Amino acid sequence: MWTNGGLKRVLDGTLNLSTATLKFVLLGIAYVPDPDHEFASSLTAHELNGTGYTGGFGGGGRKVVAAKVFAKDDTNDCATLDCTDPVWPGADAGTVGTLAVITEITNDAASPVIALIPLTPPVEMRGGSFTIQLGTFLLKLRAAAV
């Protein structure tokens, strides 16, 4: 799900998805995805922390969204952003309930949340290599008839 602030930034041009450094943030199962959450500071109380995942601004747990690919799908009237599935080697930091996509600026209070992706069912990190398989795309915008 896109956040309201994320969509606004894409539409007004203050966020260029092709050039921005996007990052994945792992949130625990107590977090309830809310499209009104505009900055990473509203997520940090729920960010995981533990072996193989250090949360917080500039933390080693936040992975860069790599190998971004943009496509349009005329059959389904949408455009998508895909990327490499993120991997956290040796991660043992709890159970992931939501994957957040942010862009870090100067601190968490200034770092916009772009999207929130609930994991159903939640996924437990157990100390091995932890990968989130995104499927066919990370983000999608759908065209609609008016």
Lowest mean pLDDT among 19-28, 43-52, 123-132: 123-132
CB atoms under 10 Å from CB of 39, counted, come to 18
- Asked if residues 93 and 61 have their Cβ atoms less than 8 Å apart, the reply is yes
Q: Is the pTM of this model over 0.75?
A: yes
pLDDT tens readout for residues 89-112: 989 999 999 999 999 999 999 999
Q: What 3-state DSSP class applies to 40?
A: helix
> Span 72-82, mean pLDDT?
94
CA distance 133 to 94: 18
Over 90: is that where the pLDDT of 61 sits?
Answer: yes
pLDDT tens readout for residues 24-46: 999 999 999 999 999 999 999 99
pLDDT at 144: 74
The two structure tokens encoding residue 91: 């991660």
In this structure, which amino acid lies at residue 8? Answer: K
pLDDT at 80: 95
Confidence band of 113 (pLDDT split at 50, 70, 90): very high
pLDDT, mean over the chain: 94
In this structure, which amino acid lies at residue 135? Answer: G
Q: Which residues, including other chains, have CB under 8 Å from residue 112's CB and lie 6 or more apart?
A: 3, 5, 6, 9, 15, 38, 39, 40, 102, 103, 105
Residue matched to tokens 């943030």: 25
Over 90: is that where the pLDDT of 127 sits?
Answer: no
**Secondary element (H or E) of residue 67:** none
Confidence band of 7 (pLDDT split at 50, 70, 90): very high
53 closest CA partner among 138, 132, 139? 132
In this structure, which amino acid lies at residue 58? Answer: G
Question: DSSP label at 2?
Answer: B
